[in-house]
Structure 1
């Protein structure tokens, strides 16, 4: 096997793994958006502080909006692949 074909195999494996990870993130984000969309207005929402186990009370509408934006970004990244 030539070094070029090995390099192409490595690139396609990396590309495939990245695409699989993006698909997983899109599915997870769809669940988040769906759950937030179906919450009653009176329910409280907490968001996790980055890189810690601390949660803070958050606005449901803002959280839903940012989750939708994140989903759109992930979908675009997946389409661009």
Structure 2
């Protein structure tokens, strides 16, 4: 007698999994950005992109609000990941 393992998943489970994987990818990318910026020398130039455009402006890497906003975004993504 052979038994088949049929996996029963709730509706939308596959979409949740895909959403979770995408969010995990974004979290990893954000971690890398924060680490790279934190490890730059103070005299290095950093450019930020204007929202919804291809224009970049020189930013101050040592500017605490800039790095803090990146860390805040990372924390928000982690909370969202845990909620899924």
Shorter-chain TM-score tier: 0.7 to 0.9
How many residues were matched structurally?
A: 75
Counterpart check, 1:19 vs 2:54: no
The 3 A distance-change label for structure 1 pair 79 and 58 is same
- For structure 2, the 5+ residue unaligned runs are 1-7
Structure having the higher Rg:
2
TM-score (normalizing by structure 2): 0.80
1:55 Cα deviation after fit: 0.3
Residues in 2 aligned to 1:64 and 1:38: alpha-carbon distance in whole angstroms: 12
Q: With structure 1 as the length reference, what TM-score do the two structures score?
A: 0.82
Instruction: Calculate the aligned-residue CA RMSD, in Å.
Output: 1.7
Give the helix-richer structure, 1 or 2: 1
